[in-house]
Structure 1
């Protein structure tokens, strides 16, 4: 079983461990190992139930308390995690597994820095602009009263268009709430665009319905999704979004979202996106995922200064390879390969091809640093009046402390964003 888990054959390992645990219900060690495997597959609530059943066999077991602490950390049961970790550390301070748990708790109580930078290295697309640059930095405080954190930061974006350079600057601060099964952020900001400052507000929330289902939404005044070209021409948008995510295990995930935007030029936009991940192949050092995507949008106005088709539809699929180059304890250096394509259609125009190629590297060090760089080349249809394709070369640099980023897709770099038409995102 340990061999199967070590070689990433988790489905087979779970099936065998489940049979062993069922045939030996009095063996607490087997029950704990089964719970650990469930947690590794992204099922912490199932692991919690398994550990609760095993607790009746020997409530004071050190191995049991240690595993319960790990599960409590995944479930955002912060106080329970602290109590269990305190007891485990007091009873076995020199045990390597205990020291690993103590280190995880120490990391949880640290501040967190998030940083991402995107740069357009080459593009002749007249809609999305040239030499575009964007970055975001945010710092989160250590936890306050278990479930709260303060945060603040800065966002910036700029691009060159036919009518001149457009830019957006945003200073923001807010509070994050993370109790069990919930996550939320309230953010207040000052947004500078088109030569003036305006107040912005964002409210984001998510709820873990079960191990497999998660739902959430976001309301934002002066949305970050407002096209930069719109801001360049003094047009902003308020946006609301709702989403539903299904992930039965670590090998499969699908997410559906629906959003509506109200622009100050009276344009109304609706957007629908379905994206997913299917694990096709996995070895101890390599994974191969299929990442399909489907998206559609509609706009009430097409006579705008920014890209705004009456109707459009994009269907994409990408193969994503993650290859571990080096691993020693909690330090992992890996490379990512991305190849994808699809088709983009808009009302009254023929469909055009989308092609994506990418390469990146990622370094995770000691569970406190997660950083990488991704270089992506995209060929996509341009405007309604220009039916050729436009090759674009984009570079993204990201970095953050690896601590409960699952509620924010931006903190999980992958190719799922390719489901959204490149022009819709960039223009």
Structure 2
């Protein structure tokens, strides 16, 4: 292409296409020179005979003192006024006038006017969808997409129509994103030539689509491009001047950019975007109590509070949201952000109450409804989650909050496979080598609260008493209804010592802070390996109480008792306290204190069976987010533990362990974790060192 060839424009202005066939025109005198007002916001067509196209939408002439009769006026006047009308929000009327004057408008001109008409339909349809909650909220957008398809089919595949096709791709990108069809929005956008000028609306739309599809890096690029374009001198006057429908504003672009950094775990860059938003706001004394400036300040302070929560300053962030609520008590976005923060602190029932109260004032708030659904899933309130799913149905596919709820709800409605694998070497007091696999397959839920499952345990160990295998299978049912969780299973172990037994557990959450639980197993899998080698089996029971203040502080106390077939009575008491001591956007540090004591009534058993022992250990765990991409992440956890072990008759000795773990979270709530652990412990006065490898999978399918 020649060096001065005009760039294709994805959101074309009212300019006739370069190189389009010249219309047949009667002989006319030369038109007056166009207005040279540099800041004119009146879009219009490039006038015939003008040597250089100054922009994609050059200024139109000064307005006529009296509106001309476009059916009889001279060609330059008709073209000037019709393209000006089209680019100023009247494309439908302009198209009608152009079709009535085939002497003044070529087929390419008419196609361009049709594209501008479709653009107006897209903007109007988008505004309609944002203001409605009924099932027909996308009717306007669907009509615009059908018109775009029709125009695309009718245009010849010739070079002069390429700019119109490019512009139409921008319109479709906006329409698909507004409709929630984010994959199509991205696919359509990626057909636009990289060097083509694209409207801010189209860039914002595809940025939202990339975020929706968990592609924050790509979203970041288009948001930054849109911001540069928003602060540059306008080139496409049809996009920058008056148009039908709301325009994307710079603060909206910056909010998208902010979340694109958050979704990548880039806290410093997200903070810089917040600072840029603050600098762009007018002085507070100049802000009226109406208009966009007031909502801009509210958006800024809401994002600041959410940033505090994201970077680990949870109490300060929630306090900031509460302060905002006092100032604007009925703002839906602030109240939804507050409830989201509370839910994220392991207080789903408190969050549910907040969502319900807010929905009384904002019954049409989609974000509030989706938040209620997600909190209900965490609290095992499946009736509420089902109600939310039926309410949103497929009416709000464009909402990221609804997408998040739908993802979690789909995972809940799916069959689930879980497995925990472990291999240990070197702990000869228990076993020289051992391998265990503990797997569950859960059915889809039925009756909202019920699942059936199959459970298979397999273990193999090499000991100085011989090698031993243990396989136990079971089938059972799982019932979860709000604070109550009940599980029951009929089990059968195999081999010469095979037995039929049962296992059951019950847990009840008194509130968001206290949970009590109990369990019973008549054919226990947790006996020492040497006990199984000696053909010993056992029954066990346990109770526990947990106090969880939030996701940063927890205390647990438990008691367990086991009766072995050799008449040994084994008892254990443990207490664990965990405190978060450091939190940032990508790191956290927990410190735990573990205390425990065990006792056995038989000291002459063929397995490790101390009459009484005590242990106290402190653990420091550091978690680092190595990678984050939307819903997906990789976290590394390093743990180091040290303490004292005392066994009656053998005195005290140190114990220690070190652990490395990688935890992956994938789409569809699939999780994978694996790692290694090295530990040192004394048994009957003999120090043992062991190495353990482990792997856990949670797979909804």
Contact 2:306 2:337 in 1 (8 A): no
Other-structure match for 1:391: 689
Other-structure match for 1:94: 398
Map 1:314-353 onto structure 2 (within 5 A).
314-353=615-654
Other-structure match for 2:454: 152
Other-structure match for 1:416: none
Other-structure match for 1:214: 515
Other-structure match for 1:18: 322
**Structure 1 CA distance, aligned partners of 2:461 and 2:448?**
41
Contiguous gaps of at least 5 residues in structure 1? 404-427
Other-structure match for 2:548: 247
Q: Which has the larger radius of gyration?
A: 2
Q: Report the CA distance between 1:402 and its aligned residue.
A: 7.5
Contact 1:277 1:290 in 2 (8 A): yes
**Structure 2 CA distance, aligned partners of 1:157 and 1:359?**
23
2:492 is equivalent to residue 190 of structure 1: yes
Contact 2:554 2:577 in 1 (8 A): yes
**Structure 1 CA distance, aligned partners of 2:587 and 2:368?**
32
**Structure 1 CA distance, aligned partners of 2:308 and 2:570?**
48
**Structure 2 CA distance, aligned partners of 1:232 and 1:192?**
14
**Structure 2 CA distance, aligned partners of 1:345 and 1:235?**
27
**Alignment partner for residue 376 of structure 1, among 652, 661, 677?**
677
Map 1:60-75 onto structure 2 (within 5 A).
60-75=364-379
Question: CA 1:2–1:143 in 2, change beyond 3 Å: closer, same or farther?
Answer: same
Q: Report the CA distance between 1:23 and its aligned residue.
A: 4.2
For structure 1, which segment, 162-171 or 7-16, has the greater mean C-alpha deviation from structure 2 after superposition?
Answer: 7-16
Q: Report the CA distance between 1:169 and its aligned residue.
A: 0.8
Question: Matched residue of 2:307: which SS?
Answer: helix
Q: Report the CA distance between 1:191 and its aligned residue.
A: 1.1
Task: Give the length in aligned residue pairs.
Answer: 397
For structure 1, which segment, 126-135 or 27-36, has the greater mean C-alpha deviation from structure 2 after superposition?
Answer: 27-36
Other-structure match for 1:126: 428
Question: Matched residue of 1:301: which SS?
Answer: coil
Q: Report the CA distance between 1:41 and its aligned residue.
A: 0.7
Q: Report the CA distance between 1:33 and its aligned residue.
A: 1.7
Question: CA 1:292–1:367 in 2, change beyond 3 Å: closer, same or farther?
Answer: farther
Other-structure match for 1:227: 528
Map 1:414-425 onto structure 2 (within 5 A).
none
Other-structure match for 2:465: 163
**Structure 2 CA distance, aligned partners of 1:64 and 1:368?**
22
Q: Report the CA distance between 1:367 and its aligned residue.
A: 3.6
For structure 1, which segment, 90-99 or 180-189, has the greater mean C-alpha deviation from structure 2 after superposition?
Answer: 90-99
Contact 2:414 2:700 in 1 (8 A): no
Other-structure match for 1:292: 593
Other-structure match for 1:414: none
**Structure 2 CA distance, aligned partners of 1:388 and 1:229?**
17
Contact 1:89 1:102 in 2 (8 A): no
For structure 1, which segment, 1-10 or 331-340, has the greater mean C-alpha deviation from structure 2 after superposition?
Answer: 1-10
**Structure 2 CA distance, aligned partners of 1:112 and 1:276?**
31
**Structure 1 CA distance, aligned partners of 2:611 and 2:322?**
53
Question: CA 1:173–1:348 in 2, change beyond 3 Å: closer, same or farther?
Answer: same
Question: CA 1:7–1:89 in 2, change beyond 3 Å: closer, same or farther?
Answer: farther
**Structure 1 CA distance, aligned partners of 2:697 and 2:360?**
43
Contact 2:439 2:456 in 1 (8 A): yes
Other-structure match for 2:6: none
Contact 1:167 1:228 in 2 (8 A): no
Question: Matched residue of 1:29: which SS?
Answer: helix
**Alignment partner for residue 83 of structure 1, among 372, 384, 387?**
387
Other-structure match for 2:248: none
Q: Report the CA distance between 1:214 and its aligned residue.
A: 0.5
Map 1:274-289 onto structure 2 (within 5 A).
274-289=575-590
2:308 is equivalent to residue 37 of structure 1: no
Q: Report the CA distance between 1:244 and its aligned residue.
A: 0.3
Other-structure match for 2:12: none
2:308 is equivalent to residue 4 of structure 1: yes
Higher strand share: 1
TM-superposition CA deviations, 1:142-178 (whole Å, max 9, x none): 1011000111031111212212112211111111001
Root-mean-square deviation over aligned CA pairs? 1.6
**Structure 1 CA distance, aligned partners of 2:586 and 2:627?**
9
